[in-house]
Amino acid sequence: MAMDIDEILLDCEDHMDKAVDYLKGELRGVRTGRASPALVEFIKVDYYGSMTDLRQLAQITVPEPTQLMIKPFDASAVGAIVKAVQSAGLGLNPVADAKVVRLSIPPLSGDRRKQLAGSLKQMGEQAKIAVRNTRRDANKHIDQAEKDKTAGVTEDQAKDAKDEVQKLTKKHEELIEALVSTKHKEIMEE
């Protein structure tokens, strides 16, 4: 049983939105020279044998532009948080200070900026590939619906649907470009 055109288009847009949302999440974790809670909120902390996102264990604030302060809801988690931040590979040096953990965000070197800019481009490409794969799948479903005489999809309806899929693809690719470009500026202007 072939899906109808509206279902195909809704499914297509939903998958493309998810690709863009995933990219947004990835970009949040890319370090700029500025402190941002998003930098550490998804670090996994071994909390009583359970791998838990840091944001669920602590309040993360920005007391100054180049510093993060992590205040665990349970003070006994300070050691586990320090260990998790050190092993996260962000190049940050956590300092335990009684019931809080302080993170100073060092400025990025020119080489590191270039490296990050390259990885941004790669992340953007991955998101675009996901969007294009969704377009391919949607077009296959449209062709199937057109071939399946019981679906009652005319050649014109199939063509219109494919045009709509192409518009969605273009819209999502432009969104991806804008996200990557904004993050690129953030990294390069520090």
What does the pLDDT look like over 128-179, one tens digit per residue? 999 999 999 999 999 998 888 777 888 899 999 999 999 999 999 999 999 9
Tokens 């679906």 belong to: 151
Mean pLDDT taken over the chain: 88
Q: At what angle do helices 155-189 and 5-28 cross, to 10 degrees?
A: 10
Our count of domains for the chain comes to: 2
> What is the share, in percent, of the chain residues with pLDDT greater than 90?
48
Structural domain including 24 reads: 5-28+109-189
* pLDDT-based confidence at residue 190 (cuts at 50, 70, 90): low
pLDDT at 69: 93
Structural domain ending residue among the three candidates 104, 125, 157: 104
Average pLDDT of the segment spanning 14-41: 84
Q: How far apart are CA 66 and CA 16, in angstroms?
A: 35
- Looking up residue 52, the CATH number of its domain turns out to be 3.30.1360.40
Neighbouring residues of 53: CB distance < 8 A, sequence distance ≥ 6: 41, 42, 43, 44, 45
Written as six digits, the tokens of 14 are 């939903």
Tell me the pLDDT tens digit for each residue of 31-81: 676 778 888 888 899 999 999 899 999 999 988 888 899 999 998 899 999
- The pTM score is 0.67
Q: Are residues 20 and 68 in the same domain?
A: no
Residues 116 and 145 in one domain: yes
CATH of the domain at 156: 1.10.132.20
pLDDT at 98 over 90: no
Final residue before a domain boundary, out of 83, 104, 125: 104
Question: Whose structure tokens read 């990050």?
Answer: 116
Residues 84 and 99 in one domain: yes
Domain boundary (104, 133, 149) is at 104
String of DSSP letters for 84-108: HHHHTTS---EEEETTEEEEE-PPP
Q: Are residues 100 and 113 in the same domain?
A: no
In this structure, the strands spanning 50-53 and 67-72 are unpaired
Q: At what angle do helices 155-189 and 110-147 cross, to 10 degrees?
A: 170
On whether both 91 and 124 belong to a single domain, the answer is no
Residues 87 and 177 in one domain: no
* Whether residue 114 is found in the same domain as residue 182: yes
